[in-house]
């Protein structure tokens, strides 16, 4: 026998007829129609809410989004001990190099160098901000502090901004 579209049939006992409830007692699913006696689920419209039995506990275990997300972006932070480990003497430390070496995630909101650790190498460090102690340590090691004068991207939430009162500005 050749295999063609009109000769294909499902395997024996692989197809089941669906349960047809409420078709009389002779069907085997009459009278209560597999709903049992009494109770909310025996009545029409009685199966509401969460369908899976364990779904309620799963939903309860998911934490609610609590807390506060600041509308202001934070500067990426790099310590001197990380610069000491990852750069050689007389290197130029740029924002791109910091990102390539995974010392910062992003530099679009600015980078600040902090003074944790010691610095023995002569480095030229570019950043948006420096702590006073970090700046002193870099210069003491014979390096240079190169301040980036870009305007940092800052977003403000509309609720934080105060409305301008025209009457107050008009007074002299």
Indicate the SS3 state at residue 98: helix
Output the pLDDT for position 59.
80
Output the pLDDT for position 153.
56
Count: domains in the chain: 1
In-domain check, residue 108 = yes
In-domain check, residue 98 = yes
In-domain check, residue 80 = yes
Q: Give the CATH number of the domain where residue 117 resides.
A: 3.100.10.10
Exposed, middle or buried: residue 141 (CB in 10 Å: 0-12, 13-18, 19+)? middle
In-domain check, residue 37 = no
Q: Domain span at residue 135? A: 76-147
CA atoms in the 13 A half-sphere facing the CB of 21: 6
Output the pLDDT for position 164.
42
In-domain check, residue 138 = yes
Rounded to the nearest angstrom, the gap between the alpha carbon of residue 47 and the centroid of all alpha carbons in its chain is: 36
Output the pLDDT for position 151.
65
| pTM greater than the 0.75 cutoff | no
- What's the average pLDDT block by block, 10 residues per block, for the chain (172 residues)? 88 91 90 89 77 73 80 88 92 92 90 93 92 94 87 51 41 34
In-domain check, residue 124 = yes
């Amino acid at each position: 026998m050749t295999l063609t579209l009109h000769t294909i049939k499902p395997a024996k006992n692989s197809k089941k007829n669906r349960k047809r409830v409420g078709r009389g007692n002779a069907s085997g699913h009459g009278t209560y129609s597999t709903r049992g006696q009494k109770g909310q689920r025996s009545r029409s419209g009685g199966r509401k809410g969460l369908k899976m039995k364990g779904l309620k506990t799963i939903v309860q275990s998911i934490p609610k989004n609590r807390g506060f997300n600041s509308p202001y972006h934070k500067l990426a932070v790099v310590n001197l001990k990380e610069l000491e480990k990852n750069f050689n003497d007389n290197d130029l430390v740029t924002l791109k190099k910091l990102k390539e070496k995974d010392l910062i995630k992003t530099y679009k909101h600015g980078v600040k160098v902090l003074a944790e650790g010691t610095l023995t190498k002569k480095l030229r460090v570019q950043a948006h901000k420096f702590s006073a102690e970090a700046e002193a340590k870099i210069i003491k090691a014979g390096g240079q502090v190169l301040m980036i004068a870009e305007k940092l991207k800052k977003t403000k939430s509309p609720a934080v901004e105060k409305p301008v009162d025209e009457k107050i500005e008009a007074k002299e």
